[in-house]
Amino acid sequence: MGLTIGVDIGGTKIAAGVVDEEGSILETCKVATPTTPEGVVDAIADAVRAVSGDHRVEAVGIGAAGYVDDKRATVLFAPNVNWRNEPLKDKVEQRVGTPVVVENDANAAAWGEYRFGAGKGHEDVICITLGTGLGGGIVIGNKLRRGRFGVAGEFGHIRVVPDGLLCGCGSQGCWEQYASGRALVRYARQRAAATPENAEILLSLGQGDPLGIEGQHVSEAARQGDPVAIDSFRELARWAGAGLADLASLFDPSAFIIGGGVSDEGDLVLEPIRKSFRRWLVGGEYRPRAQVLAARLGGKAGMVGAADLARHG
């Protein structure tokens, strides 16, 4: 099979790209994400048509945030778009006239990294996406593992703190409340309020108010050596690495791939994650350890992965 299209449905933008068998993106386009479910279907179809052009496209893969059924056809539940048992595959196929598969967005990103990014050459990788929340994907034995009902790899909602912080999912103490972009901002705000003398750069970026601190401020301040910003990254990394140790007990992969906006900071966050991972890995000194690698495809992983999954079925 030749060219396929990968579609990445984000909270604000829908991105579509024509992708070849090597994972190279030949053409892309972006449209704003509509607010209604019907609007999103229209926008996907428009984006697919716009990017197709003269290319002979054989299939379309859609990466969507939410629970996707094991047939890769229906979005059972989506947190951002109001989808409840949405037959997305059928609806988009009717519009674009080519076969369509629907994948969970974190699974699509994991597959993209496994095939063409940091996971190349590995057979068993676990991908973690540290974005606003925490997403995951499982590739074991060179296969994407979706589980019986299609919803495996939802690591963000593993409960790591009994009776811990309330999560948007309705549970308490979920991992993403402690290891995610949102958690990073919370750490920075709390620490800046408690010890403003150690957060001068951070506070100036937040207009002097701890509540004015946003994610990009923490990154910027950490790069400039702000102690509270650096400490906030370390706290996030501590939770992330401890979780990886748990996942190693479950899956025993050869590599963890860390993607998402938070991982853009590279070793600033990856080194403390590695340290925490070693600290919490049972028998860590007496066994081979998985590598902890930075994702390589950045924001394109989901698009490339969805396109490739449409090709390989």
Which residues are near Zn ion by CB under 5 A?
A: 157, 167, 169, 171, 174
Q: Which is nearer to Zn ion, 165 or 193 (CB)?
A: 165
Q: Which two tokens stand for residue 20?
A: 């070849």
Least Å distance, CB 183 to Zn ion, is 12
Which DSSP letter does residue 138 get?
A: E
Three-class secondary structure of residue 141 per DSSP:
coil
Q: To the nearest 10°, the Cα dihedral for 218, 221, 227, 229?
A: 0
Residues 6+ away with beta carbon under 8 Å from 36:
82
Are 216 and 250 within 8 A, CB to CB? no
Q: Which is nearer to Zn ion, 155 or 256 (CB)?
A: 155
Q: Which is nearer to Zn ion, 28 or 177 (CB)?
A: 177
Least Å distance, CB 162 to Zn ion, is 13
Least Å distance, CB 165 to Zn ion, is 9
Q: Which is nearer to Zn ion, 176 or 265 (CB)?
A: 176
Least Å distance, CB 231 to Zn ion, is 25
Q: What string of DSSP letters covers 60-99?
A: EEEEESSEE-TTS--EEE-SSS--EEE-HHHHHHHHH-S-
Tell me which H or E stretch contains 96.
helix 88-96
Least Å distance, CB 179 to Zn ion, is 12
